[in-house]
Amino acid sequence: MATVTFENVSKRYGDVVAVDDLNLDIRDAEFMVLVGPSGCGKTTSLRMIAGLEEITDGTLRIGERIINDVPPKDRDIAMVFQSYALYPHMTIRDNLAFGLKLRHIPRVQIDARVKEAAAILDLTRYLDRKPRELSGGQRQRVALGRAIVREPEVFLMDEPLSNLDAKLRVETRANILRLHQRLNTTFVYVTHDQIEAMTMGTRIAVMNEGRLQQVGTPQELYDRPINRFVAGFIGSPAMNFATVEFTSGNEANALQGSSISAPLPPQFRESVGASGRQLIIGFRPEHLVLGPISGGSAVVNAKAEVVEYLGNEELIHASGAGRDIVALIDSSFRVRPGDMLELRIPLDRVQLFDPDTNFALPFGPVTA
Ligand SMILES: Nc1ncnc2c1ncn2[C@@H]1O[C@H](COP(=O)(O)OP(=O)(O)OP(=O)(O)O)[C@@H](O)[C@H]1O
Ligand SMILES: [Mg+2]
């Protein structure tokens, strides 16, 4: 069982708290992505699993075994780093075999594992070449191959795609996912790129400033972010936010802000609190619609300032609701700078946040 369990794990460097009281259960054979902005503690968390960083507090387990004091070589993990230095004077075959030779694995077994890894990664025809005779993407696959031949219980990867150009990144991303399906092993994958996280993760752990914010499937994080940080970090372009006030009247309950108004979305009926409360409303660019929609909606009035044509869609930067609003809409509307827009958001897509705690208001049933 290759589960990885963080129990109240902290890592401090003097006064710097790199990882603060982390609790995270990584399941057997899952593809767990750690994501967050630079400096949030992703690499430190991964290096603690690898045994390259001492744990200041808490307990770290692989399976049932506590590994706090187990040396890296006895942990049955393999790590792929962002910089994947290969030995330039060795062939690809020898680069793949090197770690196994150090471990005194029998020659026949080494040959078999190298052959299999090369086949999985489509490197068979390059085995007798030197690293300089390969493209960047092929070299990256060799780095993955070095990890595969180890046959570890857990793969650890720290931004392994960041040295590749955009096209190769997409290809290699798919390769790593295929590898995961084929090996059916636990992967822990670090990236600062939320798109990589969304496309690759079985589940995603979002971190900020050393603290775990939320763990969930990509869809859970997209649909139900727990706080403003996760709401703004997951999704591209980022979620729009605006200040509104809740008013409860005889006729209707409503949210009202500068250039934005909405009936109270039914999912917040239980959690909205008292009339007069200030709230932050959140809505995603792709959920804004020009023109009428069926069912209840929030309405935003905004003036288009910049229009980026993307083919089938247009990205509109507009001013409204007291701030910049970004909308992704069908390009057939042919919005021009200066146009006054009436944008609508389906009520079930609206998020609300407490301005003091930044936590999302809990969702109740969406239906009336
Ligand atoms: N050896 C060290 N000594 C002191 N502080 C450190 C050390 N290593 C990391 N830190 C600090 O710990 C925090 C977390 O660093 P970490 O490398 O885990 O971030 P990260 O999330 O991987 O960021 P990035 O996306 O930039 O790689 C940072 O504030 C960093 O400055
Ligand atoms: Mg890092």
**pLDDT in the model for residue 112:** 95
4-232 shares its CATH topology with 238-353 = no
CA 282 – CA 326 distance, rounded (Å) = 12
Complete DSSP assignment for 97-147: HHHHHHTT--HHHHHHHHHHHHHHTT-GGGTTS-GGGS-HHHHHHHHHHHH
User: Could you identify the atom of ligand 1 that is nearest to the CA of residue 207?
Assistant: 21
Residue 11 CB–ligand 1 contact under 6 Å: no
Residue 192 CB–ligand 1 contact under 6 Å: yes
**pLDDT in the model for residue 285:** 97
CATH topology of domain 4-232: Rossmann fold (3.40.50)
Residue 208 CB–ligand 1 contact under 6 Å: no
Domain boundaries, the chain: 4-232, 238-353
**pLDDT in the model for residue 364:** 85
Ligand nearest to the CA of 41: 1
Residue 35 CB–ligand 1 contact under 6 Å: no
Q: Which residues of the chain have pLDDT under 70?
A: 1, 321, 366-368
Residue 40 CB–ligand 1 contact under 6 Å: yes
φ/ψ (deg, to 5) at 58? 100, -175
**pLDDT in the model for residue 359:** 97
Q: Residue 325 region, left (φ>0) first, then alpha (ψ -120 to 50), else beta? A: beta
CA 328 – CA 284 distance, rounded (Å) = 9
Q: Exposure string (b/e) for 17-27, b if CB count within 10 Å is 16 or more?
A: bbbbebebebe
- Token readout for 119 is 């086949």
Contact 296, 265 (CB under 8 A): yes
The H or E element that residue 333 is part of is none
**pLDDT in the model for residue 367:** 63
Distance 41 CA to ligand 1 centre (A): 6
Architecture of domain 238-353: Beta Barrel (2.40)
Residue 47 CB–ligand 1 contact under 6 Å: no
**pLDDT in the model for residue 166:** 85
Q: Whose CA is nearest to atom 26 of ligand 1?
A: 38
User: Could you identify the atom of ligand 1 that is nearest to the CA of residue 45?
Assistant: 18
Q: Whose CA is nearest to atom 18 of ligand 1?
A: 41
pTM of the model: 0.92
Distance 87 CA to ligand 2 centre (A): 23
**pLDDT in the model for residue 291:** 85
Out of 42, 49, 52, 161, mutate this one to test ligand 1's pocket (max ligand atoms within 8 Å of CB): namely 42
Residue 41 CB–ligand 1 contact under 6 Å: yes
User: Could you identify the atom of ligand 1 that is nearest to the CA of residue 47?
Assistant: 18
Distance 191 CA to ligand 2 centre (A): 8
Residue 15 CB–ligand 1 contact under 6 Å: no
Model pLDDT for residues 91-148, shown as the tens digit of each residue: 999 999 999 999 899 999 999 999 999 988 889 999 999 999 998 888 988 998 999 9
